[in-house]
């Protein structure tokens, strides 16, 4: 390399950095300082042409198809927004990404625009100040959300305050194969007896999988004698009184689990495979119509059915949130609103599409939509909305979850 070429290189670098700095100065005020005073039309206008990276759990083919198909097409056709869905196994993946960017002071042009989030992950992102907001009140379709419903305005007991917007709700159901188990055990006590009587035919995903975690929470409610006393903020003393009973129960159960509790399926997807292949006879899921979708795909037997415990199953709301350093915040708001559109919610609630429970308060919708929601066809493996809602019990605050999950790893997995 000659001296001349080095000088040229240095000059080129200087020019490039000068251009870059100059380009930055020309930008107008950032969106987060303007959006509060903008009208919805102005926001939609600004969103046109933006590209949106939506990070979400990618473990369900149906959900992926719905997002990449219906949602992406409507965004493109109606708003000229390009949606890139980024599938991940765990919300922690993209939280780490945004966190890393914040640590590196990359405060604009972040790689994550929107995230599917709830519960302890929402709390973590709020604690580290990773979210843009409050924005939910600006969304026109928020009018269909029941603002007095504390299971929506609080996410696992943590106030939402407009930093995420709801887009669906979930409730745990147990899946069983009626050809193998004609009469499913509808009480937790009976399920435990069934497990002991049928060794090797039951398991649940290893925590931190969220499905495994929620199954263990049901048993926590059971040994506590009900969830009522557990609502409210974390109580170490109460936890210390109840938890040992749970660990004892789970450890005594281990020899009767799949592979004698020597190992657990690492993900819910793996549990689905075990159920589909007949290795285990029960599946646990947060999605009441997932079994129906899997039946229609031919993965689950026609005889698959679902049930809820007589003492109820845990339900919660899922949300989307926008990262603080997204450069497509307007487009993200448009998507958040589109997800609350009655048409989207209806499409999403059809079992063959996703079967996600709607988060809208159906009573507040225009009549045409009320009727449509009332007429969503229900395959035999899907419980009626009434049966689900009458058996819905609340989530605990995130600090309880942390304690249960840590305790399970230390006292059950590692024992």
Partner 1 sequence: MNTGLSLIFMLAPALVVILVLFAGGLALGFSQSLGYMPIIGAYGFNLDAYLQLIKSPGFVPSLLLTIFISVLATLLAVVLAVATALTLRKRFVGKKIVSFLYQFPLTVPHLVVAVGVLLLVSQSGLMARAAFQVGLISDPAQFPILVFDDLGIGVILVYVWKEVPFIGLIALAVLQSMGNDYEEQARTLGANSWQTFRHVLLPLIIPGILPGSIIIFAYVFSSFEVPFLLGKSYPAMLSVLSYRLYTDVDLDARPQAMAMSILIAVFVLILVLFYRRLSQRILRRSG
- Which parts of this chain interact with partner 1 (CB under 8 A)? 1-3, 6, 90, 92-93, 95-96, 99, 102-103, 120-121, 123-124, 127-128, 200, 206, 208, 259, 262-264, 266, 273-274, 277-279, 398, 402, 409-410, 413-414
Q: How far is the CB of 13 from partner 1 (least distance, A)?
A: 12
Measured from the CB atom, is 252 or 402 closer to partner 1? 402
Measured from the CB atom, is 144 or 408 closer to partner 1? 408
Q: How far is the CB of 218 from partner 1 (least distance, A)?
A: 20
With b for 16 or more beta-carbon neighbours within 10 A and e for fewer, the 226-245 pattern comes to ebeebeeebeeeebeebbee
Q: How far is the CB of 48 from partner 1 (least distance, A)?
A: 34
Measured from the CB atom, is 86 or 92 closer to partner 1? 92
Tokens encoding 237: 């003393």
- The residue among 283, 311, 22, 347 whose CA lies nearest residue 186 is 311
Q: Give the number of other CB atoms < 10 A from CB of residue 390.
A: 10
Measured from the CB atom, is 52 or 403 closer to partner 1? 403
CA angle at 50 for the pair 109 and 135, rounded to the nearest 5°:
75
Q: How far is the CB of 191 from partner 1 (least distance, A)?
A: 20
Start-to-end CA distance of the chain, whole Å, equals 64
Q: How far is the CB of 198 from partner 1 (least distance, A)?
A: 11
Q: How far is the CB of 343 from partner 1 (least distance, A)?
A: 34
Task: Give the whole-angstrom CA distance, residue 71 versus residue 337.
Answer: 11
Q: How far is the CB of 41 from partner 1 (least distance, A)?
A: 37
- The residue among 195, 198, 174, 188 whose CA lies nearest residue 223 is 188
Angle between helical axes of 91-103 and 120-127 (0-180°, round to 10): 0
The answer for residues whose C-beta is within 8 angstroms of residue 201's C-beta and 6 or more apart is 195, 258, 280, 281, 282
Measured from the CB atom, is 95 or 160 closer to partner 1? 95
* Cis peptide leading into residue 134 (ω within 30°): yes
Which is it for strands 313-322 and 82-88: parallel, antiparallel or unpaired?
A: unpaired
DSSP strands (E only) in 68-219 = 82-88, 114-117, 154-155, 158-159, 165-171, 173-177
91, containing H or E segment: helix 91-103
Q: What residue has token string 């450069």?
A: 327
Measured from the CB atom, is 127 or 183 closer to partner 1? 127
Task: Give the whole-angstrom CA distance, residue 143 versus residue 109.
Answer: 31
Measured from the CB atom, is 6 or 12 closer to partner 1? 6
Measured from the CB atom, is 80 or 402 closer to partner 1? 402
Q: How far is the CB of 261 from partner 1 (least distance, A)?
A: 9
Measured from the CB atom, is 123 or 348 closer to partner 1? 123
Q: How far is the CB of 305 from partner 1 (least distance, A)?
A: 21
């Amino acid at each position: 390399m000659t001296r001349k070429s080095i000088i040229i290189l240095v000059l080129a670098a200087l020019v490039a950095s000068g251009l870059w700095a100059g380009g930055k100065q020309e930008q107008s005020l950032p969106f987060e300082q303007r959006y509060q005073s903008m009208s919805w039309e102005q926001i939609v206008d600004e969103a046109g042409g933006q590209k949106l990276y939506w990070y979400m759990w990618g473990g369900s083919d149906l959900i992926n198809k719905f997002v990449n198909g219906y949602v992406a097409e409507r965004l493109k056709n109606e708003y000229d927004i390009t949606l890139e869905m980024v599938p991940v196994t765990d919300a922690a993946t993209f939280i780490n990404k945004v966190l890393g960017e914040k640590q590196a002071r990359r405060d604009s042009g972040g790689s994550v625009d929107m995230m599917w989030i709830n519960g302890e992950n929402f709390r973590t992102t709020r604690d580290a100040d990773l979210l843009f907001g409050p924005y939910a009140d600006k969304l026109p379709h928020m009018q269909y959300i029941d603002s007095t419903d504390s299971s929506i305005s609080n996410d696992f007991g943590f106030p939402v305050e407009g930093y995420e917007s709801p887009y669906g709700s979930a409730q745990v159901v147990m899946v069983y194969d009626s050809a193998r188990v004609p009469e499913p055990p509808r009480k937790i006590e009976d399920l435990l007896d069934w497990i002991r009587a049928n060794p090797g035919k039951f398991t649940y995903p290893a925590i931190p999988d969220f499905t495994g975690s929620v199954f263990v929470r049901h048993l926590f409610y059971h040994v506590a004698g009900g969830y009522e006393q557990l609502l409210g903020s974390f109580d170490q003393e109460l936890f210390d009184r109840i938890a040992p009973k749970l660990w004892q129960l789970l450890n005594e159960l281990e020899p009767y689990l799949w592979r004698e509790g020597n190992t657990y399926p690492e993900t819910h997807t793996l549990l689905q495979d075990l159920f589909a292949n007949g290795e285990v006879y029960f599946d646990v899921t947060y999605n009441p119509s997932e079994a129906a979708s899997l039946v229609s795909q031919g993965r689950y037997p026609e005889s698959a059915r679902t049930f809820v415990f007589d003492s109820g199953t845990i339900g919660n709301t899922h949300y989307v949130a926008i990262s603080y350093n997204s450069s497509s915040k307007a487009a993200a708001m448009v998507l958040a609103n589109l997800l609350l559109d009655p048409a989207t919610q209806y499409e999403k609630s059809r079992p063959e599409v996703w079967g996600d429970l709607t988060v809208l308060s159906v009573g507040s919708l225009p009549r045409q939509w009320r009727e449509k929601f009332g007429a969503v066809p229900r395959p035999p493996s899907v419980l009626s909305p009434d049966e689900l809602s009458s058996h819905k019990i609340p989530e605990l605050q995130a600090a309880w979850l942390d304690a249960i999950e840590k305790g399970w790893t230390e006292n059950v997995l590692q024992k």
